[in-house]
Structure 1
Amino acid sequence: MNGMKPVANHASLDPKKRRFGIVGGLGALGGADVLLKMIRTAQRMSSLSGTDIAFEQRHFGEGAIVADGNYDPTRRKFYVYNALKDMEARGIDTALVPCFLSHTFLREITPEVNLQVVSVFDALRRHVTTELSGVRKIGVLTSTFLKRAGMFEREIGPFAQIIYPDEETQVNTVMQAIYGPNGVRAGHHGGECQHLLLEACLRLIDAGAEVIVPGMTEIPVLIDSLRPLVPVPLLDSNLLYAEYALGIDAATPSREFKLGVVGGVGPAATVDFMRKVVKLTAAARDQDHIKMVVEQNPQIPDRTANLIAGGDDPTIPLLATCMRLKADGADAIAIPCNTAHAYVDRIQPYLDIPIVNMLTEVVRHIRETMPGVTRVGLLATSGTVTSGVYKSVIEAAGLQQVVPDEAMQARVMESIYGASGVKAGFTSGECTTHLTAAIAHVQAHGAEVIVLGCTELPLIELGDAVEPRAPLIDPTAILAGSCVALAVGSHKR
């Protein structure tokens, strides 16, 4: 069931319009009441003419167990989450959840969806602070679960004292009016349920309530018949929610930075990169660490084989992996593979999130921390050396690249791709011998700093006996540090 104009597919929608979605089914009547009041409000406001409002209602039968103060909301959480994700996929940018009970767990869900979820408590709080500033006691009619959860005390309590019906009235009057056999949820809009709600209102007034707030979406369904009988203001919380949602500006959802990682190029280097991100993050608890989404895709064609021997082109597989990471919410992408950066300039124009360029970050690090260096040694795959990707970045920074001669380059490749090389799972033995010789070789040719320009090379154990005169640069660690800084910077904005 849809409101004013149904939200269909992305292509048919005007990108300038707000697209609202209402999660129905949590109380069918309450959700429909919010929809109706939202439509009427939008119709009255010329600036909102043509607003798209989608109403999403599915079967969600839990029976009267919702009335239980010990109710377990787990199934409801899944229902709300799935409904919001479906709305997100349909291009809806702002969602309402007309269910007070669901607002006890919305903060668990909102970081996981990419749309703005409007809080009914924000709507009530604004009304209380702007229209009811002189009120000292607010009476609340809500479920036993919400009463025990203390939501109203947390959200509105700082501005006025919250009072509820006594326990007997709560069980036999309020809950019966909504959940009883003659209650609102059973389809009744007058008679016993109206009488019970009126009785609950009068008892709140006797306890000092100067205004009454319905904390269940079903109560405003009877608002027109109740108001003439209640001698203090009885707020229409559904209307306040609808008006508030329509009046606030569309906002990009606030969520934690998420790093996308193109993994599998190679697999061990991916794990090493993640370990270094964790190590470099200032964290006192698990939740302080950076969100990462990784696609471990070892089937991406070998980059070196393509660059030096005409092997399969990895460009499209790399782009496709990046696009899947973007679809999974990544804000930036890291590729812990030096050789793969030969393809970054090709794929970056097709992405609307940045690839953190490991090569430029390495050279920037050298320039900032070693200002006296002029000659940079590079130990990398033949593909990286042949492509010239490091050379162009190094020379653009006013530095000179030093690489091994042909025979020593063959030993570097053996340390990486050989039968006893690091890609075969070895981190000591022959691969150490080859790498040690390569380090000494480029030092002898004037390298003042040496970049281990293959992400597997830092995994090789050099041992205490190897003390290179030139500092060794680990690009994986540099990339990890840059990604951590990017994540920290995003939190400050």
Structure 2
Amino acid sequence: MITQHPKTRLGIIGGLGALAGVDVYFKLVRSLAREGISEDYELFFEQHPFDGNENSGGEKPNLNARKLYIFDMIRQFEKHHVESVLVPCFISHTFIRELQTEITTPIVSIMDALRFHLKEQFAGACHIGVLASDYVKSKKLFENTFSGGDITLSYPDDAIQTDCVMHAIYGDQGIKAGNLRGAAVDLLHQACVHLLDRGADVIVSGATDIAIVADLLRSRGIPIVDTNQVYVDYALRNREKPLPRSFKIGVVGGVGPAATVDFMNKIIHNTSASRDQDHIKIIVEHNPKIPDRTANLIGDGEDPTIALYAACKRLEDNDAALIAIPCNTAHAYVKRIQAHLAIPIVNMLDETVAYIRQQFAAGVKVGLLATSGTIASRVYHEAADGQAFELLVPDDIHQARVMHAIYGEEGIKAGYTDGTCRDDLMAALLHLVQRGATVIVLGCTELPLLLKQDLAFPVAGSHIALLDPTTILARSCVARSDISSQQHGSVMLVS
């Protein structure tokens, strides 16, 4: 049997402008053929019209369309599992960081390629003359790349920059207009001579359009770097690794709706942040149409397994690092779907049991206030199996009052947080305390809308611990975030 090695997939974004993109694609295909490795690569080249080329090289261009165009193109490439992307445009490299923070497919840096090439070609100090657009020059792309090293930079003076460089690229008879010989090359030659006279050792084409005519300028004796070829060579030499995904919590929401909002608030409250950017990314699949879990577990209600799994898959497809389900009863279905997911569901029940084990002495009696579906499924009992505490549930009369507090006409799911629902819940809570419970788990995510976590909650002349599993889950999700990869500061738990 012949084993076929997977091909390296490279994407090239065309249209930035059009001729430069084609030039990079041509030089890439040519290099692959010369090195005899064409069969090892699969190339994806796409070019579409977009509104953003007019005056794009000026000092104050509107680059919004260009940014969104590149982002959309990379997302298209990701569907084909492209491993890295070439963006043949110096203007676009001024905002590569903005793009790269939102995608995991690495963008091959044309500036890294130039730095690598110049280091190879010039072992010591080097003075380069840069031919670039006004915008690239104003954004100090080259200064930011080569600062602190042995490379010094020169640009043409203002008159040469305007009359020669910009006109050669963007003028009516310029390269972007399809004129690859004649006046455009003459103007660039004049600019190159000007830079060489100012002491440049080599000319760098800081615009991919100029690189198209690098060979013609060389034929005139100009020592110019063809940055398009340098870019291609670097991409083939350096296989980029996928970037780590920024940490994102995926939430299966809508089960129930108010509990989802409550859970998100708890994530935010338990994240130490001084500005918006310090918070953790959250993506919510809010689907209140997921069939009722309790109705399925204790009756003949529709099975919610597929709906829960579909929600989890959508979160997985949207780059969530983990999944949180702020619904105790839904955890009866976690084992059914976890094996079919590539990311973990943080089990709220397991986290709650672990919290009890860590915070309370062995032998403590723990009362559980939850839906009849949660109790009938015994998911909390399974999570607590083998633990050094006793789990208590209400008797039938008081369990009916818990269900009425949640599902009644004036229950929590109907939007009430006081009155009959509170009376019913407190009666069930007191019933468990009278049976010896000193810790009460609010085992339905609607209940913390009425009672908050409190380790010294007053009941019948004494104090008990009220535990909110959604608070415990939120803190666990925050703790699991990859703090070291956060771009702005640390993320810490609030006690």
TM-score range, shorter chain: over 0.9
- Residue in 2 that maps onto 1:41: 31
Q: Give the direction of change, closer, same or farther, for the CA distance of 1:93–1:195 in structure 2 (3 Å limit).
A: same
Counterparts of residues 286-305 of structure 1 (less than 5 Å): 286-305=276-295
CA displacement at 1:63 relative to structure 2: 5.2
- Residue in 2 that maps onto 1:328: 318
- Residue in 2 that maps onto 1:125: 115
Q: Distance in 1 between matches of 2:417 and 2:95?
A: 48
**Contact kept? 1:179, 1:186, Cα under 8 Å:** yes
> Kindly, what percent of the aligned residue pairs are identical?
48
**Contact kept? 2:430, 2:459, Cα under 8 Å:** no
| Deviates most, 244-253 or 420-429 | 244-253
Q: Give the direction of change, closer, same or farther, for the CA distance of 1:125–1:397 in structure 2 (3 Å limit).
A: farther
Match of 1:90 among 80, 85, 91: 80
Q: Give the direction of change, closer, same or farther, for the CA distance of 1:424–1:322 in structure 2 (3 Å limit).
A: same
TM-score (norm 2): 0.92
How big is each residue's C-alpha offset from its partner over 1:86-134, in whole Å with a ceiling of 9 and x where there is no partner? 1112222211110111111222222323422111112112223443342
More helix by percentage = 1
How big is each residue's C-alpha offset from its partner over 1:205-237, in whole Å with a ceiling of 9 and x where there is no partner? 122222221111111111112124345x42111
Secondary structure at the counterpart of residue 252 of structure 1: coil
Q: Distance in 1 between matches of 2:268 and 2:436?
A: 35
How big is each residue's C-alpha offset from its partner over 1:152-195, in whole Å with a ceiling of 9 and x where there is no partner? 11112332222211111010000111111221112122221111
Q: Distance in 2 between matches of 1:317 and 1:398?
A: 35
How big is each residue's C-alpha offset from its partner over 1:330-355, in whole Å with a ceiling of 9 and x where there is no partner? 12111000000000000111111111
Counterparts of residues 145-184 of structure 1 (less than 5 Å): 145-159=135-149, 160-184=151-175
Match of 2:374 among 384, 388, 398: 384
Q: Give the direction of change, closer, same or farther, for the CA distance of 1:196–1:414 in structure 2 (3 Å limit).
A: same
Question: What is the RMSD of the two structures over their aligned residues, measured on CA atoms?
Answer: 2.1
- Residue in 1 that maps onto 2:274: 284
| Deviates most, 468-477 or 277-286 | 468-477
- Residue in 2 that maps onto 1:470: 464
CA displacement at 1:48 relative to structure 2: 6.0
Match of 2:480 among 467, 470, 486: 486
Matched letter for residue 288 of structure 2: P
Match of 1:266 among 228, 241, 256: 256
- Residue in 2 that maps onto 1:218: 209
Match of 1:31 among 21, 30, 35: 21
- Residue in 2 that maps onto 1:432: 422
Matched letter for residue 400 of structure 1: E
1:100 aligns to 2:81 (yes or no): no
| Deviates most, 59-68 or 348-357 | 59-68
Q: Distance in 2 between matches of 1:317 and 1:250?
A: 37
CA displacement at 1:461 relative to structure 2: 4.3
Secondary structure at the counterpart of residue 53 of structure 1: strand
Q: Give the direction of change, closer, same or farther, for the CA distance of 1:320–1:194 in structure 2 (3 Å limit).
A: same
Match of 2:241 among 223, 232, 251: 251
Q: Distance in 2 between matches of 1:201 and 1:176?
A: 14
- Residue in 2 that maps onto 1:201: 192
Matched letter for residue 484 of structure 1: V
Q: Distance in 1 between matches of 2:269 and 2:337?
A: 29
| Deviates most, 111-120 or 300-309 | 111-120
Q: Distance in 1 between matches of 2:38 and 2:148?
A: 33
1:21 aligns to 2:11 (yes or no): yes
Q: Give the direction of change, closer, same or farther, for the CA distance of 1:133–1:432 in structure 2 (3 Å limit).
A: farther
Q: Distance in 1 between matches of 2:309 and 2:386?
A: 26
**Contact kept? 1:395, 1:401, Cα under 8 Å:** no
**Contact kept? 2:89, 2:208, Cα under 8 Å:** yes
**Contact kept? 1:135, 1:210, Cα under 8 Å:** no
Aligned length: 479
Q: Distance in 2 between matches of 1:317 and 1:69?
A: 52
Counterparts of residues 269-418 of structure 1 (less than 5 Å): 269-418=259-408
Q: Give the direction of change, closer, same or farther, for the CA distance of 1:368–1:133 in structure 2 (3 Å limit).
A: farther
Secondary structure at the counterpart of residue 352 of structure 1: coil
Matched letter for residue 222 of structure 1: V
CA displacement at 1:361 relative to structure 2: 0.7
Secondary structure at the counterpart of residue 271 of structure 1: helix
**Contact kept? 2:8, 2:40, Cα under 8 Å:** no
Matched letter for residue 262 of structure 2: D
**Contact kept? 2:88, 2:208, Cα under 8 Å:** yes
**Contact kept? 1:263, 1:298, Cα under 8 Å:** yes
1:456 aligns to 2:446 (yes or no): yes
Q: Distance in 1 between matches of 2:188 and 2:458?
A: 84
TM-score (norm 1): 0.92
Matched letter for residue 221 of structure 1: I
- Residue in 2 that maps onto 1:7: none
Q: Distance in 2 between matches of 1:358 and 1:112?
A: 29
Q: Distance in 1 between matches of 2:82 and 2:124?
A: 38
Q: Distance in 1 between matches of 2:221 and 2:358?
A: 72
How big is each residue's C-alpha offset from its partner over 1:254-313, in whole Å with a ceiling of 9 and x where there is no partner? 331111111000001100000000011121210110111111111101101110012011
Q: Which runs of 5+ in 2 are unaligned?
A: 488-495
Matched letter for residue 106 of structure 1: I
Q: Which runs of 5+ in 1 are unaligned?
A: 1-13
| Deviates most, 362-371 or 43-52 | 43-52
**Contact kept? 1:428, 1:461, Cα under 8 Å:** no
**Contact kept? 1:375, 1:449, Cα under 8 Å:** yes
Secondary structure at the counterpart of residue 256 of structure 1: coil
Match of 1:81 among 68, 71, 86: 71
Counterparts of residues 231-250 of structure 1 (less than 5 Å): 233-250=223-240
Q: Distance in 2 between matches of 1:239 and 1:396?
A: 66
Q: Distance in 1 between matches of 2:53 and 2:246?
A: 36
